[in-house]
Structure 1
Amino acid sequence: MGLAKDLKGASRLGVLVAISAATVGVIYGYDSSNIGGALLYLKETYHLSEAKAGLVASIVVFGEIAGALVGGRLADRFGRKPVMVGVAATFALFSLMSALAWDIPSLMVARFLLGLTIGVSVVVVPVFVAESAATAIRGALLVLYQVATVTGIILGYVIAMILAQVIGGATDAGAGDTWRWLLGLAAIPGVLVTLLLLRLPDTARWYVMHGRRAEAERVMTQIDPNADVVRELDDLEAEFRSGASLTLTQGLRKMFTGKYLRASIFVIGLGFFVQITGINAVVYYGPQIFEAMGVESDIAKLGLSALVQVFGLLAVFGSMAIVDRAGRRPILLTGIGVMIAANVLLIVTFLNGTEKGDTVTLGGSLTVLAFIGLVLFVAGFTLGFGALVWVYAGESFPSDLRSLGSSAMLTSDLVANVIVGLVTLQMLKAWGGSGTFMFFGAMAVLAFLFIAKLAPETKGRPLDDVRHYWENGGSWPVESAPSTGTATGPTVVAGRPDQD
């Protein structure tokens, strides 16, 4: 309700940016879950071991790491919009390549290239949205990206379930090409978002960075017709003249020395904990987790995996509704706390199951408890980590470090994602569900302590005001207070000159 009301008062450009980001999020989410359904068929068709299946699922993340490493620099050099257009178009192309793969090696090449373009997108989208949104709804629009991502995850499972019903399960004759449909259908939203992005301008900050003031003025006026555009442009130009055009070496030096070291530790640690706490173990391998619980039907495995994500979607709607009112820190810490409780419930449930080979038969109330545990796990993640990682990725650094800082956060996130993708199936086989969720629970406890120590509260702060928190050693200057303005202009802290 709050976001809908704010969007009614938002500019047409702001709404189009939100829709574009949401569509990219759907693509990202669909690709995260469709491999879970495809593996049911790939394992049967190509007789994949757990290690090989984990590599097929995770190879996309190796590409994402490479894309995240260069995404920020590409966005700074060529523009946020052109890079996003390239991302959407190549996503459609590489999805088709995945569907047409003739063996596992060719599929892995296509998925690596797909990951490359996704890696760029997860860096550029938060920057594009943060630089194109008014302060009052910036957090909610960044959370909207997570809403779209979870929606894409659900679509991946639902489409897999429909195909399983129409064509047949993994062991049914004639179902061998089901995985091709699952992977290839991702090309459709890729084409749609390409067409949508072509209609958008770049951000005012990028135009100022490249000396194109007239275009920056036009974009600022479109975002907020009531803004003092001349003053805000003067402020941005002064900021960039003071050192915004940094080389990669200069940017890294600025991030990891002096006043921004704490910010760098925070965003890199946050990115790592987002994934090492295990969310993609549930997204990638949801059907396999339900199989380990004794569920036999492919349709049931996929349907239950989708249902778990529906509850996660409800949680992220809650986060989106309150993020610009309740604040970032309370929501993030609450979400991690729910994940810790979920891990405890899952550990107890699996410990009380009956072991049968590589599976644990739960049955009755234990099955219900395990399902509730997975629901709480995903809901806690989407309420906290899932929603807020995009907010902090777009807010944590000043303009000259924003793209590079976003790249660092998402690279860390993806490194942890590789670890989870490669070891989850092997942990399930070696340690069972109880041992696997003990590991993820321990990571969640460490994440809670890390966030409680380092995360700033950025609610109501203009985008370029956040820098003062880090410059002041991890606390807000006493003169600084939250305000309600647009995201396009920095707020000058009384009695404290801007610093670079």
Structure 2
Amino acid sequence: MSIASVSATPPTPPTPSSRPARPTGRLFALTGAVVGVIYGYDTGSISGALVFLSKDFHLSEAEKGLVNSILVFGSIVGALLGGKLADALGRKAAMLIVAASYAVFVACSALAPNVLVLDIVRFLLGIAIGISIVAAPLYVAESTPARIRGASVAAYQVATVAGIVLTYFVNWGLSGGGHWRWMLGLSAIPAALVLIPLLRLPDTPRWYVLKGRTERAVEVMAMTDPDVDPRTEVAVVSAALAQESGGSVRSLLRRPYARAAFFVVGLGFFCQITGINAVTYYSPQIFEEMGFTGDGQSFLLPSFVQLASLAATVLAILVIDRLGRRVVLLCGIGTMVLMLAVLTAVFGTGTLQGATTWVGFAAILLFTAAFNFGFGSLIWVYASEAFPAQLRSTGASVMLTADLVANLLIAQFFPSLMAWAGAARTFAGLGVLALAALVFAAVTAPETKGRQLEEIQDYWRNGGRWPRTPVPEPVSPGALGSGSVPPSP
């Protein structure tokens, strides 16, 4: 792939409409999406495999929960490492590590001789997943124009849901023979194939600036973003980086970004504690409790649930850069609250048959679709754009770690909670948490539609409000001026 030449004197930037789309930018988004498909497949594959491997390995309810939660625990470790890895080695290098690790550990999980080996391999796979959910959205967000960034990053969620849809149909097709090893192992193939385009792509312009490779940053910016003059934009990124004190977690706890850290940690935690992965991981068991037991219904119905979720995520992509982040997020969470109330009522009747059963199915379908329309699409967007460049990977790691801690709680304790408290009380509790999430998002979520990544920091510097003019921040001695670009080493 050729690299656009950059003249020493920057030309007058054409208007966005006059510049052609950059194929390299599309390839960034497509590659990130393939990683999302693999992540989605791995997330969903265990739901069907667990039914059969539980019998082969004679697992208790607690051991079933551990098979799920051990991967999430590994994901927490990976998310904590992901930001540092993406900064030190590069977004591209982190993605290469992820793809190779996926291929190896997925294949090993399919060959596991016992549950101990399976748990160890799933922990290692979880580390790769944790790195991927930090690195992949960063990789896409830092390589796409502001006007389509929301849709480009949300496309990662579309790919994730597509992977879950695929795995449910695969689970249904393989359920007749109980082929859980094939259910787990098939995603090793696309994981290996995604290495090919990754090897051809450059890293992101903002990472090159972070490492002082500004001439390379200008070249890649010219390849990926038709809406900006590459030298001017790299100068803006460089100046913003010069004003930041560092990328440590401690920096997130100090002004002006403590408010941003509170927002992203809360959003990440609410995203999972409201129960979406209870449906993803345990949907065959939930549908069996609803009374769907014949002709493989408990395996087939989750496929239609995820198809509706895929449609909802595509809809989110179409409207997220038009309606804005807040409208999409609040509509999604509000619908989740309503559907959890319906599920509480359905399971509270005590008689799951006839129309009541199908009302429960519709509520599960709409709950999952609403999650993917709101939380599912916006978590990646906010994770990748809430912080300035120097703190972006650290902030994404913190947000997604909070998300994964909540996921760990759901994965480990949902089966036991259903058995102890009953389905009605369990879904009622999730409904209360979803209502709290709605209030939290309404109060704290910023509207970042159409904003440049370097511009969003002004919102936090101004106390959680958009300023009419950019908020100035003192530049340390020796820092760059507003229009200068440091020389490439």
Q: Does 1:452 align with 2:449?
A: no
Q: Does 1:312 align with 2:301?
A: no
Q: Does 1:33 align with 2:55?
A: no
Secondary structure (helix, strand or coil) at the match of 2:200 reads coil
In the TM superposition, what is the alpha-carbon distance from 1:227 to its structure 2 partner? 2.8
Equivalence for 2:88: 77
Question: Can you list the C-alpha shifts for 1:123-163, whole angstroms capped at 9, x where unaligned?
Answer: 11111111000011100011101100111011111101111
In the TM superposition, what is the alpha-carbon distance from 1:497 to its structure 2 partner? 2.2
C-alpha separation in 1, matches of 2:387 and 2:56: 47
In the TM superposition, what is the alpha-carbon distance from 1:470 to its structure 2 partner? 0.5
In the TM superposition, what is the alpha-carbon distance from 1:498 to its structure 2 partner? 4.5
AA aligned to 1:109 is I
Secondary structure (helix, strand or coil) at the match of 1:335 reads helix
User: Structure 2: any 5+ residue segments left out of the alignment?
Assistant: 1-16, 476-489
Question: If the length of structure 1 is used for normalisation, what is the TM-score?
Answer: 0.89
Aligned pair partner of 1:475 in 465, 475, 479 = 465
Question: Can you list the C-alpha shifts for 1:99-134, whole angstroms capped at 9, x where unaligned?
Answer: 111100000000000000000000111111110000
- Aligned 8 A contact 2:43 2:281 in 1: yes
User: How has the CA–CA distance of structure 1 residues 401 and 84 changed in structure 2, closer, same or farther, with 3 Å as cutoff?
Assistant: same
- Aligned 8 A contact 2:144 2:225 in 1: no
- Aligned 8 A contact 1:87 1:117 in 2: yes
Equivalence for 1:115: 126
Q: Does 1:290 align with 2:287?
A: yes
Equivalence for 1:497: 472
Equivalence for 1:102: 113
- Aligned 8 A contact 2:219 2:230 in 1: no
Aligned pair partner of 2:363 in 373, 381, 390 = 373
Equivalence for 1:48: 59
1:8-407 correspondence to structure 2 within 5 Å: 9-165=20-176, 168=177, 175=178, 178-225=179-226, 227-243=228-244, 246=246, 251-297=248-294, 299-354=296-351, 362-407=352-397
User: How has the CA–CA distance of structure 1 residues 271 and 217 changed in structure 2, closer, same or farther, with 3 Å as cutoff?
Assistant: same
User: How has the CA–CA distance of structure 1 residues 448 and 194 changed in structure 2, closer, same or farther, with 3 Å as cutoff?
Assistant: same
Moved more, 400-409 or 217-226: 217-226
C-alpha separation in 2, matches of 1:49 and 1:37: 16
Question: Can you list the C-alpha shifts for 1:408-467, whole angstroms capped at 9, x where unaligned?
Answer: 000000000000001111111112221111111011001001101100000111111110
Question: If the length of structure 2 is used for normalisation, what is the TM-score?
Answer: 0.91
- Aligned 8 A contact 2:237 2:454 in 1: no
In the TM superposition, what is the alpha-carbon distance from 1:296 to its structure 2 partner? 2.1
C-alpha separation in 1, matches of 2:226 and 2:249: 36
- Aligned 8 A contact 2:21 2:226 in 1: no
C-alpha separation in 1, matches of 2:225 and 2:258: 34
C-alpha separation in 2, matches of 1:365 and 1:134: 48
In the TM superposition, what is the alpha-carbon distance from 1:215 to its structure 2 partner? 1.2
C-alpha separation in 2, matches of 1:499 and 1:109: 49
- Aligned 8 A contact 1:398 1:467 in 2: yes
C-alpha separation in 2, matches of 1:27 and 1:109: 20
In the TM superposition, what is the alpha-carbon distance from 1:164 to its structure 2 partner? 1.7
C-alpha separation in 2, matches of 1:403 and 1:374: 34
Count residues with an aligned counterpart.
Answer: 458
C-alpha separation in 2, matches of 1:226 and 1:453: 32
AA aligned to 1:451 is A
- Aligned 8 A contact 2:291 2:357 in 1: no
Secondary structure (helix, strand or coil) at the match of 1:85 reads helix
Which segments of structure 1 move beyond 6 Å, counting only runs of 4 or more?
none
C-alpha separation in 1, matches of 2:45 and 2:235: 47
User: How has the CA–CA distance of structure 1 residues 432 and 405 changed in structure 2, closer, same or farther, with 3 Å as cutoff?
Assistant: same
C-alpha separation in 1, matches of 2:214 and 2:412: 48
AA aligned to 2:104 is L
User: Structure 1: any 5+ residue segments left out of the alignment?
Assistant: 1-5, 169-174, 355-361, 480-492
C-alpha separation in 1, matches of 2:326 and 2:345: 29
In the TM superposition, what is the alpha-carbon distance from 1:210 to its structure 2 partner? 1.1
In the TM superposition, what is the alpha-carbon distance from 1:235 to its structure 2 partner? 2.2
- Aligned 8 A contact 1:42 1:179 in 2: yes
C-alpha separation in 2, matches of 1:335 and 1:183: 30
- Aligned 8 A contact 2:330 2:438 in 1: yes
Question: Can you list the C-alpha shifts for 1:239-275, whole angstroms capped at 9, x where unaligned?
Answer: 323336x26xxx2222102211110000000000000
- Aligned 8 A contact 1:164 1:298 in 2: no
In the TM superposition, what is the alpha-carbon distance from 1:499 to its structure 2 partner? 5.8
- Aligned 8 A contact 1:38 1:179 in 2: yes
C-alpha separation in 1, matches of 2:216 and 2:67: 44
C-alpha separation in 2, matches of 1:108 and 1:277: 25
User: How has the CA–CA distance of structure 1 residues 367 and 298 changed in structure 2, closer, same or farther, with 3 Å as cutoff?
Assistant: same
- Aligned 8 A contact 1:291 1:301 in 2: yes
Moved more, 218-227 or 64-73: 218-227
Equivalence for 1:437: 427
Aligned pair partner of 2:405 in 415, 424, 440 = 415
Cα RMSD, aligned residues only: 1.5
Secondary structure (helix, strand or coil) at the match of 1:465 reads coil
Q: Does 1:424 align with 2:414?
A: yes
AA aligned to 1:126 is P
Secondary structure (helix, strand or coil) at the match of 1:259 reads coil
- Aligned 8 A contact 1:76 1:403 in 2: yes
- Aligned 8 A contact 2:20 2:226 in 1: no
